[in-house]
Amino acid sequence: MTTTPNMARPTTVWTEIPVTDLKAAVDFYTKVFDWTLSIDDSGPNPMANFSTDMQGVHGHLYPGKPAARGTGATIHLAVPDTLEATTERLAAAGGKVLMGPIEIPVGRFTYAEDLDGNSIGLFEFKAA
């Protein structure tokens, strides 16, 4: 990773979501967010990258031990369409909606959990 001299500090550049079953997690996140994910075995540990085309924070799913429910960090992910449609897909895929939607000036979000109990925020930006 190269350093960008004019990058604002602090800047989040990478995020990792630990999962107990990588194949199941890839299926879950693909169904919920309409992502194209594939398992990459080229490094020391398998992972499934979710790309942002350099427009946001990059990250991946990896085999690991998720934090106990309600104790880990919350990663907010932009929904591909509407908050309602995404929460419906999340529930159908086995996730759990915890709270929301919560309105804020730039949009709205819902707190949820993935299959492993990882806390995720589903975020919908306000239309321009």
Give the CATH number of the domain where residue 37 resides.
3.10.180.10
DSSP label at residue 30: H
Query: Which of 3, 86, 55, 20 shows the shortest CA–CA distance to 120?
Result: 86
CB 124 within 8 A of CB 107: yes
Q: Tell me the per-residue pLDDT of 32-80, one tens digit each, with 9 for 90 and over.
A: 999 888 899 998 999 999 876 656 778 899 999 999 887 889 999 999 9
Mean pLDDT over residues 15-21, rounded?
94
Domain that holds residue 41: 14-125
| Helices 83-92 & 22-33 angle (0-180, nearest 10) | 150
- Whole-model pTM: value is 0.86
Starting from the edge strand earliest in sequence, which strands make up the sheet with 107-113, in order? 75-78, 119-125, 107-113, 96-104
Classified as helix, coil or strand, 117 is coil
35 part of a folded domain:
yes
**pLDDT value of residue 58:** 83
| CA distance linking residue 63 with residue 46, whole number of Å | 7
Of all helices (H) and strands (E), which one includes residue 121? strand 119-125
75 part of a folded domain:
yes
3 part of a folded domain:
no
Of all helices (H) and strands (E), which one includes residue 97? strand 96-104
